[in-house]
Amino acid sequence: LDDPLVVPELATFNAEINCRPRPLTGTVLTDLAKDLTDVWQRCARAAATLGAETAMIGILPTVRPDDLVLDHMTPRERYRALNERILALRAGRPLVLAIDGDEPLRIERTDVMLEAAATSFQLHVKVPPRLAARAYNLSKILSAPMVAITANSPFLFGHRLWPETRIPLFEQAVAVGGSILGERVNFGFRYAKRSIMETFLANLSRYPILLPELADAPPEQLAHLRLHNGTIWRWNRPLIGFDDDGRPHIRIEHRVIPAGPTIADAIANAALYYGALQALLDEPEPIERALAFPHARANFYAAARQGLDTKIHWLRGRPEPILAVLREDLLPRAHAGLAALGIPEPERDQWLAIIAGRIANRQTGAAWQQAWVARHGPDMAGLLDAYLARQTRGAPVHEWAIEP
């Protein structure tokens, strides 16, 4: 491809696809959809020359343990070093993947390649420093409903597990062992109290360096801080980047959403997150005061485990069905937040209608996959064929039928 927007990932069969940043206003959502479609179609054409197809999905249903081996690691020094350092921190003990569910799974590995089974749709938002801590906290609060309404990872190695199996898979695939405070993938342990700098100080005190590197960049470029932060994969991660003129900025990376099922679904997910985040930021009183952090954390794992069937603690201080939270609270907030950002009504309606349809039909990518298997049996190759046929047609997942 020779395209700076498409870069290698841990495994040779995965790729990271990016869009150029845009101001969050006007027709930004439609523009992002066009950008992503263009890159995706170029990837598909390149894959076709190799006799391959591209797939956007949280976990590939047909992936096998034998696919996730060091022979399929992308030949980059960074990945080899990450693998060696994580195993060294484990003192040679194998990594253990243990996930409960309808068909529990347990497997041991001596490398980090299980991580390559999980792919995400990661959203970034650049925020003013004065709002960074609140945007970080609110992204955590939004994580549970976002996971439930976007779930697309119900199967791994033929086992039916969680609607978002990707969550425990990624956490366990690079677990260093020891204290949970030092695990490299986590939801966090509290809200930021006053400043986003608290998370970078936590990096320094809690997490051993994975990738030592002598950087000769000027100190103000924060090379070591950024390198270390890049090896701690919080589900919501603060990032420091630089504008074209060299000025630093802060971004929040929202990592909880799985890839797929379609580009339309992905952009609708972005509309929900960006709109709801803005609306919550506009509240005169911090929402964090209405939802204790332990509830936000428990909500996240319950949503990954139970999808749209879960109840979560929400802002009224009692458990509520997550579908009701989405329908009655977050969807209206997302409309209001996008309007406040200057996104016109037709644009808001187009993309948030997809979320409304998913809520009305109770059909996420995970729900569709589970329903297909319930009807046709555990034929993972057949499931993937049916999924790819619908993905190629492009209609959002709430419109997908179960029939072949």
pLDDT higher than 90, residue 403: no
Mind giving me the DSSP string for 304-351? Answer: HHHGGG-EEE-TTSSEEEHHHIIIIIIHHHHHHHHHHTT--HHHHHHH
The confidence score (pLDDT) of residue 246 equals 87
- Tell me whether residue 153 is exposed, middle or buried, using C-beta atoms within 10 angstroms of its C-beta: 0 to 12, 13 to 18, 19 or more: buried
The 10s digit of each residue's pLDDT in 92-137 is 899 999 999 999 999 999 999 999 999 999 999 999 999 999 999 9
- Which is higher by pLDDT, 22 or 221? 22
For the chain, give every domain's residue range: 6-399
Q: What is the mean pLDDT of the chain?
A: 95
Q: What is the CATH number of domain 6-399?
A: 3.30.590.20
- Read off the pTM: 0.96
Tokens read off for 49: 């020359």
Alpha carbon distance 309, 330 (integer Å): 17
Give the closest residue to 126 by CA, choosing from 136, 116, 138: 136
The confidence score (pLDDT) of residue 181 equals 63
The confidence score (pLDDT) of residue 260 equals 97
The 10s digit of each residue's pLDDT in 328-350 is 999 999 999 999 999 999 999 99
- Which is higher by pLDDT, 32 or 176? 32
- Which is higher by pLDDT, 184 or 113? 113
Arithmetic mean of pLDDT, 370-379: 97
The confidence score (pLDDT) of residue 180 equals 67
The 10s digit of each residue's pLDDT in 44-75 is 999 999 999 999 999 999 999 999 999 999 99
Positive/negative CA dihedral, 263, 265, 266, 267: positive
Q: Is 138 in contact with 280 (CB distance < 8 Å)?
A: yes
pLDDT higher than 70, residue 178: no
